[in-house]
Structure 1
């Protein structure tokens, strides 16, 4: 089935990135938008994930659109259901639901050079057309399944954290958690008290620092609602702290290595206050530099390992049997529940998350893998006219995803303003501008912990298969916003 109508734009993904793009396009005068979402509701990761302990891992004050602050966060680090509620609020206030189509699995998109529009292929055979294509599929949208011998033979309950089964009762179960990343840091303390036994299989330890979390009193929330300036001040302070953490300790490692080492000491002292056993502390201490993985915060992760029913296993898994897990030393742990906190697959299947075929038949995924991951200002790619990739290489700025979203919205305003001024039908970033940007970002990464620190054992999703930390934009957020509003207009060709 083919829809012959040509929409102004098709946006793939109804998370915060897709909604931000839709809001900006609406401000720019585009009315005929379609937002295609594979899930049955909006919210992206905050709709898909609902495991126990789910919460934002940076201060709530920074995790929202600056133009749509939320004075109602209940905690300094808001729980996941509040992020879902905020997403629904944004969609309703900006009247985005009318543009959304749920349960629409996009299989791919192809540039139609003759008609100067994109053809989007949807599972089930439907095709629709749009003048512009924007992919907002997120960085963490494709779950990673562990490749362990025998996993398909396990006879008990298997739960991946991205598909949590609320109906399954963990009380009294003997469970294993595979993975000790950011998700596990939130999950393990929540489920440990309920289980009879919990064995945590750790391949890579993670740096964990204290979490300055607390309830936000109602009087403070009321003040935020009455006097928005007060919340903006708090947001500015929180953003400044995150900027120091990311830019100084991670991206400017050459000059500010001491900040990195201070963070490591804070994390080690945090662990020492909660764990007396030196052997357990040693197992939980990373052997890579702070910042090689995304910083993680928790006040009860380490405490969970001091419980009598919680066991840390650092020996590699050899195989999984119908009733348990066998490690390479021959030890078998009998379990009835297997929980996979194994994160997401970014570089094999997520960039891009769908097949995208541009001008002259160029396949974006193949081109990225053959020619390095790259995107001009984190949004545009040569040979892909009228296309913006919002979850892309060198786009993530700062620690709050909303920083990235809003800088991209600013880029869109400048770009589409020039398209309108020229009355152009198409835009496409030039290979020269793209190459210059890639060289500049690569050079800046030479100052980072990724290049100068010890990251080889981190197994961080920041690194692609070529060993490049190509997700993060290695500049300050101030620079990202400045360039979004001042990039050379001649960086694009207009026709």
Structure 2
């Protein structure tokens, strides 16, 4: 290796959320120490750093929404609040000595493969460029906020708050508040705003399926048992994981074969809605017209009840324009507003795949290639013509309902891949076109049994679907199958140099 081919870092990981932390843990276990973790925010934690709006909490039981190899026995609730997830991220970073590798306020703008030197050149917004042998993108699935382009939004005279840029301590008391959106974030936030605001108007484009949230505080004696007898927490994790697996596999992925499971979940959500909302017309407006699972459902015991309050109203007409002190709908309704809250989600398929420009071998641009040739990634992690690139947030990579299932599966893939790389005394890997095409064909075929293609998803407006109408996010396999495949993929599916 020449001096010019000696990179600044062995590994550059873009993103210091749980995906990036997991990748760093795996690479350190493989013996890599010259690692740089580049994070655009001021601290680690990913979505649990960016989001800190009132009511924020995990919507997967915390015993499952965490690394299986690094359990936390001290969750305060079954569904832990967001501040505890942020604290857990710091605990993990400290436990595995990751913080010394982190560089904050560092936004990656472009990465380009240098075929002659066989390394990546990574450019950042401050004008710097650094090189690395291996590049890992861990920018998350929901990292690029979407701000709607309502006509007149820039003329609004009140306060505008996007949920990803929350103003801590903002008091809605005496204010006429409007929130746009009824996704998972809004479900958590709406009851909190309703407790303070003089009036709250919720603008809904698409209703969401909501099921009861079986949440409770975890007593200190139970936490002590988890800490002293770890197998008890592993059993709790196993039970919860099994329930999530049943919901995902039978309710979503095998809709065609097990439609009764999907219908059972829908009936539960309908019963919950009927028990929570008194007004019949409001219930009808809050009832989705798409099948359960077409759009990610959520858990709540307070969201639906908020619409019983006389000062909370639901608006289902589309927004025509924004004026300095009001919102006007397409049917002419006018809503006076002091503070406008945008719970409008993220731009998943437009700007997040990928989150920055990535140019591989022979000048192949990843974003352009995905949009012109279908979204695809071998085993949800690698693409042909992109040597030494591991993309953790990729098409067909999300496995199960807990993101940690995806992370740990990808860590397993990295371990197997780099074991073979060392066995061959190679420094470069690249998945073959044939292996990538076979994987894409296989997952596409398996997804034909899912609710996405056998159910009625026409009105869901779900981020599961890309602009081509393909549900190219979820991997159509159970958690156990995914782990087996990640730990047993054919090694010859890659070329090594």
User: Do both share a fold (TM > 0.5)?
Assistant: yes
- Give the structure 1 partner of residue 269 of structure 2: 267
Equivalent pair of 2:171/2:196 in contact (CA under 8 Å): no
Query: Equivalent residue for 1:18?
Result: 20
TM-superposed deviation, 1:124: 1.5
Match for residue 98 of structure 2?
A: 96
The answer for the alignment partner of 2:417 in structure 1 is 415
Taking the aligned partners of 2:247 and 2:279, their CA distance within structure 1 comes to: 29
SS at match of 2:481: helix
User: C-alpha separation between the residues in 1 aligned to 2:22 and 2:276?
Assistant: 41
Change (3 A) 1:338 1:4: farther
Q: Distance in 1 between matches of 2:195 and 2:127?
A: 48
Gaps of 5+ in 2: none
Q: Secondary structure at the match of 1:189?
A: helix
Pair 1:106-2:108 in alignment: yes
CA distance in 1, matches of 2:368, 2:167: 35
Q: State the distance in 1 between where 2:410 and 2:331 align.
A: 50
Helix, strand or coil for the counterpart of 1:60?
coil
Q: Secondary structure at the match of 1:356?
A: strand
Partner of 2:157: 155
Contact kept in structure 2, 1:3 and 1:128, CA below 8 Å: no
Matches within 5 A, 1:7-406: 7-406=9-408
Q: CA deviation at 1:168?
A: 2.5
What CA distance in whole angstroms lies between the structure 1 residues aligned with 2:264 and 2:171?
Answer: 41
RMSD of Structure 2 on Structure 1 (CA) = 1.1
Q: Alpha-carbon deviation of 1:3?
A: 12
CA distance in 1, matches of 2:82, 2:6: 39
1:158 aligns to what SS in structure 2?
A: strand
| Residues 4 and 128 in structure 1, CA contact (< 8 A), matched pair in contact too | no
**Alignment equivalent of 1:431, drawn from 430, 433, 437:** 433
CA contact (8 A) 1:14 1:136 kept: yes
Question: Does the 8 Å CA contact 2:5/2:118 hold for their aligned counterparts?
Answer: no
Query: Structure 1 regions of 5+ residues with no counterpart?
Result: none
Match of 1:212, SS state, is coil
SS at structure 2 position matched to 1:493: strand
Answer yes or no: is the 8 Å Cα contact 1:3–1:127 preserved in 2: no
- CA shift for structure 1 position 147: 2.0
User: How far 1:35 sits from its partner (Å)?
Assistant: 0.2
CA shift digits 1:387-410 (9 cap, x unpaired): 000000000000000000000000
Q: CA deviation at 1:278?
A: 1.1
Once the two structures are superposed, residues 282-325 of structure 1 have per-residue CA deviations (whole angstroms, 9 ceiling, x without a partner) of 00000000000112000011100000110000111111101010
Q: Is the 8 A contact 1:249 1:260 kept in 2?
A: yes
Q: Which whole-Å CA distance do the structure 2 matches of 1:245 and 1:173 have between them?
A: 40
Q: Aligned partners of 1:32, 1:22: CA distance in 2, in Å?
A: 11
For residue 123 of structure 2, give the secondary structure of its aligned residue in structure 1: strand
SS at match of 2:487: helix
**Residue 396 of structure 2: SS of its match in structure 1?**
coil
Name the CA distance, whole Å, in 2 between partners of 1:131 and 1:436.
27
